[in-house]
Amino acid sequence: MATKRYYVTTAIPYVNGPPHVGHALEFVQTDALARYHRRTGEDTYFLTGSDDNSLKNVRAAEDEGIPVGDLVSRNTDSFVELDRVLDISYDQFIRTSVDERHRQGAQRLWRAVQESGDLYEQVYAGLYCLSCEQFYEPDELVDGLCPEHFIAPERVEETNYFFRLSRYQDQLEQLISSGQYRIIPDQRRNEVLSFIRSGLRDFSVSRSQERARGWGIPVPGDETQVMYVWFDALSNYITALGYATDGELYRRYWVENDCRVHVIGKGITRFHAVYWPAMLLSAGVPLPHVLFVHGYYTVEGRRIGKSMGNAIDPVALARRYGSEALRYFCLGATPSTGDTDFSMDSFESRYNADLANDLGNLLNRTVSMIGRYRDGVVPEAPHPDRDHAMLVEQARALPELIAGCMEEYDFPAALAQIWRVVGEANRYVERQAPWRLARPAVGTDEIDTAAKLDSVLNTLTQVLRLVALELEPFLPRTSAAILAQLGCDSDSSDNVAGLRVSTPQPLFPRLEVGVAEQ
């Protein structure tokens, strides 16, 4: 049987400012998916990038008095830096303003849609939110303001190309309600279905060169227009693979692949659940299979964002607490979907409880005891009794349990499975009390006691090794650090006897509670 394939993408963020912690959430979630599928042996490709061609970038550059290209490059660098700091294992970072394959691919998609008869010219007058890059109907506004940004939209009137979205209403409804295009969570799927059922209106897919200041991808055959940034941005998911020339990556990961997955934030659901599949249907290109929609971080109930003035710098967080602490918070302490209030109190308390205490202590005492009682060499387990065997069985059951959680895109549930085993292992240490076995009372059978101690240390090593292997998609550095302290790596065998452990080093130094200044 052919190897399964898995293609996963992040949204490409507007790079009109540096990233905030909400971007970290999306990158880390997508990275966990990519690493997880890679680890299970699937042929995986992970795409991320930057959405350069936005009018927002034009305005931001004008405000700073610098060329748009300079602003976009500078801000893109800060996204690449965040990816580096968080060990985001992407295969490609596409920049929509400089990648020639993107320009050609977006234009090919335009022509394909045009040949289907789905583009027409029309004078358009409407209310436009520059931050959303989206027209709004008056009844969609909240007190006259954009519902996402709480700013007044601008009145815009010009001749644009329109896309016949209305033609795809029934097809989209069928694809989404049948689950052929699976939208996670259900709440988002239901919102999309009710939006589709309320009647789809054709939408504008170009802008005048003048309003775009010449920034963006030209409409093929019409020099007065550039593509609407969403038309160009959405196409990145296929242009990056070489759609323009029917390239090898495009065939391998888009056309001949049973799992094409987009990870996005809830604010851009409509573009990915309605506009994008309609464009693909029109162009005769296969659709994505899964749209996973995460929520937002809020601060005291308010959405985080540059325009809100409450952005949290994820690179600063990672420098201060470690990148794995931030990855853990995003994956283990944040519901996969829905909004989560980001507070430093909860960040620090989860760090101390889960990372420093539960996992950190388990490794530390295991490695310390092997050093102290057995000169740093993991002993054989001569008498593995029921208590040992049950714990190892629980650790061995992890891959299947985690697979179920990952099928549902439920990251905290996957990590909760791992931490359940960590908790069991800590209770096992308390029950077995190896420090007492190391100093048998006078009159006990010393050989028997030594064999018991051997079994406890061997069991703990086995369990920590299995935990480390399962942690890799979520906390790759922690996984590697645990294996290194146990004296093995991800390729070593199940038999841990004979491994030489290192001197113990704390994985997550405990924080003094209340050190947060933010």
Binding-site ranges for Zn ion (CB under 5 A): 129, 131-132, 146, 148-149
Distance of closest approach, residue 230 Cβ to Zn ion, in angstroms: 13
> Which residue's CB is nearer to Zn ion, number 128 or number 373?
128
> Which residue's CB is nearer to Zn ion, number 130 or number 451?
130
Write out the two tokens for 189: 């799927």
Distance of closest approach, residue 130 Cβ to Zn ion, in angstroms: 8
**Angle at 211 (CA atoms; ends 209, 213), nearest 5 degrees:** 65
Query: Is residue 227 classed as helix, strand or coil in its secondary structure?
Result: strand
Distance of closest approach, residue 125 Cβ to Zn ion, in angstroms: 18
- CB of 464 closer than 8 Å to CB of 422: no
Distance of closest approach, residue 192 Cβ to Zn ion, in angstroms: 19
Distance of closest approach, residue 24 Cβ to Zn ion, in angstroms: 22
Rounded to whole angstroms, the Cα distance separating 23 from 79 reads: 9
- How far does the chain reach from its first CA to its final CA, in angstroms? 53
Distance of closest approach, residue 149 Cβ to Zn ion, in angstroms: 4
> Which residue's CB is nearer to Zn ion, number 155 or number 439?
155
Burial of 321 (0-12, 13-18, 19+ CB in 10 A): buried
> Which residue's CB is nearer to Zn ion, number 101 or number 303?
303
Distance of closest approach, residue 132 Cβ to Zn ion, in angstroms: 3
Q: E strand or H helix at 486, and its extent?
A: helix 476-486
Distance of closest approach, residue 146 Cβ to Zn ion, in angstroms: 3
> Which residue's CB is nearer to Zn ion, number 131 or number 160?
131
| Dihedral sign of CA atoms 223, 224, 229, 230 in order | negative
- Sheet with 119-129, side-by-side order of all strands: 134-136, 119-129, 154-163, 203-204
Q: Using omega within 30 degrees of 0 as the cis cutoff, is the peptide bond preceding 185 cis? A: yes
> Which residue's CB is nearer to Zn ion, number 127 or number 398?
127
Beta strand 290-294 with 260-265 is parallel
> Which residue's CB is nearer to Zn ion, number 273 or number 486?
273
> Which residue's CB is nearer to Zn ion, number 83 or number 148?
148
Sorted by sequence, the CB contacts under 8 Å of residue 305 that are 6+ apart come out as 20, 22, 149, 311
3-state secondary structure 297-329: EEECCEECCHHHCCCCCHHHHHHHHCHHHHHHH
